[in-house]
Amino acid sequence: MLRLSKLTDYAVVVLAGLDRAERNRRVMAVPEIALASGLAEPTVAKVLKILGQAGLVEGLRGARGGYRLGRALHEIPLSDVIVAFDGPIALTACVDGASGGCEAEAMCPVRGRWDPVNRAIRDALAHVTIADLAGPARCHGTPAALVLNA
């Protein structure tokens, strides 16, 4: 099973919260983000540190400091968040020519054959933005036009 870390999931929640604050032209401090998201302050601080290192959020110092988005949610692909928290996106240990991750690599009949699969997954995740995830929920089978006009 392919599963993302909890921190990656929390990062999406934090980014969505920062987007709501940014629409009101304000920054948010860690305690405020924690309260709004239901996450513990140390977890929020850890998530923000990683998001900052990836250039996805900016920290502002001072009495009116806090955090804000580094760019708009529609410009942040889910793949960027996953890579920041979980590392390279791949299904297998032998990723795009990497070596030393498998004891059978010298004789492996499928070595290198996973590369197109890994690329397809990375490409698919790169086309989903955080805005897509943070937007209004739609019921399956409900045309988007109906949701937008509701």
CATH code (residue 5): 1.10.10.10
Identify the burial level of 123 via C-beta atoms within 10 angstroms of its C-beta, where 0-12 means exposed, 13-18 middle and 19 or more buried: exposed
Q: Domain for residue 95, yes or no?
A: no
Q: Is the pLDDT of residue 140 over 80?
A: no
Average pLDDT score, the chain: 84
pLDDT at 29: 93
pLDDT band of residue 118 (cuts 50, 70, 90) is confident
Distance CA 31, CA 140 (A): 35
Does the pLDDT at position 146 exceed 60? Answer: no
- Sequence letter at residue 2: L
Domain annotation covers residue 106: no
Q: What percent of the chain has pLDDT over 90?
A: 53
pLDDT of residue 142: 44
Is the pLDDT at 148 greater than 70? The verdict is no
Judge whether 117 lies within some domain: no
Tell me the average pLDDT across 123-145. 74
pLDDT in tens, 68-117: 999 999 999 999 999 999 988 887 766 655 666 677 777 778 777 888 88
> What range defines the domain where residue 40 resides?
1-87+129-137
Sorting pLDDT into bands at 50, 70 and 90, what band is 149?
very low
Q: Is residue 97 part of a domain?
A: no
119 lies in a domain?
Answer: no
Residue 143 lies in a domain: no
Three-state DSSP class for residue 24: coil
Question: 60-63: which pairs have CB atoms within 8 A and are 24 or more residues apart?
Answer: 60/27
Is 94 inside any structural domain?
no
Owner of token pair 């690329």: 119
Tell me, what amino acid is at 72? A
Task: Decide if 22 is inside a domain.
Answer: yes
Number of domains in the chain: 1
